[in-house]
């Protein structure tokens, strides 16, 4: 390895140390290098002190080291690293932020996926397409980009994991765009009499917020009405957009043995596209960056359709199966749960839509874990999320221990629920105008939603 490469690696190793007041040794050691460009940039770095610029630079240098100096990175290139270090130091010193290349955004998102402690599908973290739409300035343009993302990801059922980047937070940390939806495709939840819910109970608050913003549900409501997409530009009122039915691939559920199952008229959408999470990459926050993979069968069969606070279908299926629900010891829930999950997997596979069962996913995760260990990498994880909600003890992950570690250079982060905040604020305003409102809406400010657990 030549002298320049060694110098660049030394810079990254030292930049990974916290550059604080008590860490002047890092700066002193850097000054001893013979790389003239870096020595020139150090004079600017010194002037940053312990400011927010210095903290951003620290994160930027760590990320750049991860992408360009890590031997296992497909983008390993010490020469690009040297140039990017100087560019970032110069930009952060002048304007308080820096700009990623498309390669950096894509790899950062891949690393965020890899670092996601709750995801069992990390074996495919390198298979992530990325789209750069940071230049878009209107909600309408962003909606078009989301539609393009959805079309690319759907791929006639051969789902492709993808991420789309919109404008990141500015140098002051203010977001520029937010997508209110938890996922781009979700089903409405309508509150009826006696707290009866038609549709997905999890989405009652979002549904009511959308209606207050002007969304008009179908005249004949169903349990699977697709919600609008709510996009907000900083300082502007949120705007609603609706996908065409033909743009959303859905799978009608049936069972390989029970002919009556089809008559339940159940279905689920093909693409799980998260839109509520932000992605931090090297200190830059992307607050609007929808991301999709593909479904684990139990996400649909053992959670979305089965949970008591979602569609709660197990009693209905058990009744159709003729199971004795009088005693828990008959394990009627377990029997109904297995058959529902069989129906989900069977229907997706029959429709040619990509999905994975929990046993295959568990085995793939263990394989991924072993490969990472060979590379000297520690695999972190949140056990309660990694173990499938069905037949957990017969999956290999169940018998392993995992540790959750925060502070990655690239990671997803949770953002405030804007739909919830909007509904709470509107309820408070209405209450001030008309106190009788509380008699009509018993979930106004100060109450707890019985389905989501949220304070509204």
Helix, strand or coil, per DSSP, at residue 170: coil
Contact present, 124 and 148 (Cβ < 8 Å): no
Contact present, 57 and 45 (Cβ < 8 Å): yes
The residues with which 411 forms a beta bridge, in sequence order, are 280
Contact present, 78 and 9 (Cβ < 8 Å): yes
How far apart are alpha carbons 355 and 373 in whole angstroms? 27
The arrangement of strands across the sheet holding 229-233 comes to: 177-179, 229-233, 239-241
119 is catalytic: yes
- Strand boundaries in 287-439, DSSP class E: 291-292, 295-296, 355-356, 410-413
299 is catalytic: yes
Q: Which of 361, 409, 406, 415 is nearest to 385 (CA)?
A: 361
113 is catalytic: no
Alpha helix (H) ranges present in 191-323?
Answer: 204-212, 297-298, 314-321
Contact present, 204 and 196 (Cβ < 8 Å): no
Q: Which pair of tokens denotes residue 405? A: 């570690």
Query: Which residue is catalytic, options 104, 254, 299, 369?
Result: 299
Query: Which residue is catalytic, options 88, 104, 119, 268?
Result: 119
How far apart are alpha carbons 203 and 189 in whole angstroms? 5
Q: Which pair of tokens denotes residue 67? A: 């992408």
- Strand boundaries in 317-402, DSSP class E: 355-356
How far apart are alpha carbons 201 and 250 in whole angstroms? 19
Contact present, 164 and 149 (Cβ < 8 Å): yes
Half-sphere exposure of residue 267: CA atoms within 13 angstroms, side-chain side: 19
Query: Which residue is catalytic, options 180, 294, 395, 411?
Result: 294
N-terminal to C-terminal alpha carbon distance within the chain: 61
Residues 6 or more apart whose CB falls under 8 angstroms from that of 129 comprise 106, 152, 160, 161, 162, 163
Query: Which residue is catalytic, options 84, 122, 186, 191?
Result: 122
DSSP for residue 75: T
Q: Which residues are catalytic?
A: 119, 122, 294, 299
């Amino acid at each position: 390895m030549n002298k320049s490469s060694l110098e660049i690696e030394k810079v990254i190793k030292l930049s990974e140390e916290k550059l604080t007041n008590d860490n002047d040794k890092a700066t002193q050691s850097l000054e001893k290098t013979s790389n003239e460009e870096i020595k020139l940039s150090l004079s600017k770095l010194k002037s940053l002190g312990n400011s927010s610029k210095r903290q951003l630079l620290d994160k930027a240098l760590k990320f750049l080291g991860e992408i360009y100096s890590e031997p296992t990175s497909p983008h390993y290139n010490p020469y690009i690293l040297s140039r990017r270090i100087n560019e970032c130091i110069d930009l952060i010193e002048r304007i308080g932020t820096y700009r990623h290349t498309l390669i950096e955004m894509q790899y950062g998102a891949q690393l965020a996926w890899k670092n996601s402690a709750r995801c069992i599908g990390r074996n495919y973290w390198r298979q992530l397409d990325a789209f750069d739409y940071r230049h878009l300035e209107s909600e309408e343009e962003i909606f078009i980009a989301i539609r393009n993302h959805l079309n690319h990801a759907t791929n006639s059922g051969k789902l492709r994991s993808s991420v789309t980047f919109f404008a990141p937070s500015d140098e002051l940390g203010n977001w520029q765009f937010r997508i209110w939806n938890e996922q781009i495709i979700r089903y409405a939840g309508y509150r009826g009499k006696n707290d009866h819910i038609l549709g997905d109970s999890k989405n009652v608050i979002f549904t009511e917020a959308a209606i207050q913003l002007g969304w008009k549900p179908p005249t004949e409501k169903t349990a699977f009405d697709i919600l609008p997409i709510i996009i907000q530009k900083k300082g502007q009122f949120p705007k609603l957009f609706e996908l065409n039915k033909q743009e959303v691939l859905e799978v009608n559920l049936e069972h390989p043995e029970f002919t009556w199952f089809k008559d339940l008229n159940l279905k689920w959408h093909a693409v799980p596209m998260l839109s509520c999470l932000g992605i931090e990459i090297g200190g830059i926050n992307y607050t609007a960056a929808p991301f999709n993979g593909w479904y684990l069968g139990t996400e649909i069969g053992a959670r979305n359709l089965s949970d008591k606070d979602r569609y709660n279908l197990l009693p209905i299926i058990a009744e159709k199966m003729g199971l004795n629900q009088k005693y828990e010891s008959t394990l009627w829930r377990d029997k109904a749960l297995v058959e529902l999950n069989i129906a989900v997997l069977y229907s997706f596979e029959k429709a040619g839509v990509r999905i994975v069962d929990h046993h295959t996913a568990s085995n793939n995760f263990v394989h991924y874990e072993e490969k990472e260990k060979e590379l000297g990498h520690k695999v972190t994880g949140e056990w309660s999320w990694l173990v499938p909600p069905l037949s957990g003890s017969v999956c290999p992950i169940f018998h392993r221990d995992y540790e959750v570690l925060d502070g990655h250079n690239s990671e997803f982060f949770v953002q405030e629920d804007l739909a919830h905040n909007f509904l709470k604020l509107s309820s408070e305003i209405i209450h001030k105008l008309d106190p009788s409102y509380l008699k009509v809406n018993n979930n106004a400010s100060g109450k707890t939603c019985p389905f989501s657990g949220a304070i509204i």
